[in-house]
Amino acid sequence: TQASVSTSTYTYTLPAGKWLLGIAVSSASGQSFNLGLSAGTDELIQGGIVSPGGVSTFGANLYAGGSSLSLYFSALSGSTTLTFLTL
């Protein structure tokens, strides 16, 4: 699954019964972002770095269980592409 984001925050919903194995973040401009289990938090990724024009990957290993799981990206800048590897 892929999302193009041009706002500073983004919410991704992992469907019930699915695993999130990894996340790739690409951006034309360099940035540092956070990822948490509620808006504005950073339990999962704190200060995730993306180089200008680069792609950074992050392992996740999260299971949604019997209901969906929301993940919150914050401090995104510019135009960002988020790619989610799910199973």
| C-beta of residue 58 within 8 angstroms of C-beta of residue 25 | yes
By CB atoms closer than 10 A (0-12, 13-18, 19+), residue 85 is middle
What local confidence, expressed as pLDDT, does residue 30 receive? Answer: 92
Q: Is residue 87 very low, low, confident or very high in pLDDT (cuts 50, 70, 90)?
A: very high
SS3 40: coil
- The H or E element that residue 30 is part of is none
Nearest 10 degrees: Cα torsion 17, 87, 55, 37: 10
Q: What was the pLDDT predicted at 43?
A: 96
Chain segment 17-42, per-residue pLDDT in tens: 999 999 999 999 999 999 999 999 99
Predicted confidence (pLDDT) per residue in 36-83, tens digit: 999 999 999 999 999 999 999 999 999 999 999 999 999 999 999 999
